[in-house]
Amino acid sequence: MSQKQNKTRPGSSVRMVDVSAKEKTLRTAVATGKIFLSPKTLETIEKGLLPKGDVLTVSRVAGIMAAKRTSELIPMCHPIALSNVSVELHSSKENSCIEARAIAKAVDRTGAEMESLVAVTVSLLTICDMCKQVDKDMVIGEIALIEKAGGRSGHYKRKSKTIGQ
């Protein structure tokens, strides 16, 4: 590789943010997302009739496990000492979807936003994996940070119910 190709472009350096001067405080983050599926697939999930087993229980466990490994997945994300992760799943026949809601908590120097987002995403991906045999048209979307608390930046709550606004 030539010397010119090996140089980092100005302004393109990457680094982990130094949080050592920050105080440890209780950090909480809430994220949500949805998987849209056919009404028949939703009914099959609710009746527990899918070949791979209890979709909602496996999905919850997968989300919790993923939250605990967030820093291994996202390069500049700090590992944090999670004190709690919960994943709730609610189905909506009206919208033919399952909504995932994850809450991540930690007493640490940096927030738990990424952990809650990863928990939601992996929960929804797990539903997709367990249902792909019966429904190829599933769509995952509307993943967003809904609320966070703790740290210097204080409390944040999404104002819009509609993602992208």
Which are the catalytic amino acids? 129
Q: Are 34 and 97 in contact (CB under 8 A)?
A: yes
Chain-centre distance for alpha carbon 122: 6
What gap in Å lies between CA 122 and CA 145, rounded to an integer? 15
How far apart CA 79 and CA 144 sit, in angstroms, is: 21
CA gap 16, 71 in Å, rounded: 11
92 bridge partner residues: 97
Residue 128 · residue 10 · CB < 8 Å = no
Spatial neighbors of 101 by CB under 8 A, at least 6 apart, are: 30, 31, 32, 87, 88, 89, 90, 120, 146
